[in-house]
Amino acid sequence: MIDQGIHTSDRRKAERIWISLGGTIASVRRTGEIRFVHTAFPASLRANGRRQDVPAKLLTRINQLIRMNAANDD
């Protein structure tokens, strides 16, 4: 079990975690943004695709997904 949340500044690592938790990542055409979509959240999250840092909102959603999965485990 994970007792602590994920804290990272590496966007590639955050993207791998997002995909492993069932999310998808899509490019927004001609804007340089990327969209993080997951069925557990009604609204998608948009982030600047040119920056290499991780938005705080994305970390919050990743940690929420981890807590939801841990609560559903036996």
Examine the pLDDT at 2 and tell me if it is beyond 70.
no
Is 6 a domain residue? no
Is 28 a domain residue? yes
Is 5 a domain residue? no
Structure confidence by residue, pLDDT tens digits, 6-37: 778 889 999 999 999 999 999 999 999 999 99
Q: What is the 3-state secondary structure (H, E, C) of the chain?
A: CCCCCCCCCCHHHHHHHHHHCCCEEEEECCCCEEEEECCCCCCCEEEECCCCCCCHHHHHHHHHHHHHHHHHCC
Question: What is the residue range of 15's domain?
Answer: 11-72
